[in-house]
Structure 1
Amino acid sequence: MTISFKGSHFPKDVILHEVFFYLRYSVSYRDLEEILAERRVKVDHATLNRWIVKYAPLIADKARRQKRNCVRLCNARWD
């Protein structure tokens, strides 16, 4: 299952980076807005909130499935 970014006004790399940054470092939406402004990308904190509400569960689910597959492969016995 791939995550659909259809209809987004920003590239998927920007969206994924900010969602990851929010989840990994627990920064506020306004801090993310400031970080993006330093990189000359103008995004409102409300937009960041919508991205995180929409994409964070999808990213977490995908990461959980990949982790589960890795655990199965890592625990396999190789003779």
Structure 2
Amino acid sequence: MKNSNIYAGYRYPTQIISHAVWLYHRFTLSFRDIEELLAARGVVATYATIRQWCKKYGSIYCNQIKNSRGQLLDTWYLDEVFIKINGVCTPFGEP
């Protein structure tokens, strides 16, 4: 993340905190699963600490992702669609 002062007061590096939050939200793992994954890499953090990180930084990460992806349009363009009816492939929209 660009703004590293939101991590002030934590003894863990920013990469560990952001990785734990990413694991929780991306793969829907439990806090105890993330605790075990971090422990396998030599990082000792309790599941309660990981829960606090996810509660605090999850919404911040979400807002940054929403802001960085830009405006979504409500118009979708479809190139080609084929539908198989009774074993015959026909382009969508033609009889």
So what's the TM-score if we normalise by structure 1? Answer: 0.83
Two-structure CA RMSD over aligned residues (Å): 1.8
Structure whose residues are more often helix by fraction: 1
1:1-79 map, 5 Å? 2=3, 4-68=6-70
Structure whose residues are more often strand by fraction: 2
How many matched pairs?
A: 71
Q: Which runs of 5+ in 2 are unaligned?
A: 74-95
Q: What is the CA–CA distance in structure 2 between the aligned matches of 1:56 and 1:12, rounded to whole Å?
A: 14
Q: Which runs of 5+ in 1 are unaligned?
A: 73-79
Compute the displacement of 1:68 (Å). Answer: 1.4
Q: Percent identity, aligned pairs only?
A: 30
Q: Which has the higher contact order (CA 8 A, sep 6+)?
A: 1
Question: Which structure has the larger Rg?
Answer: 2
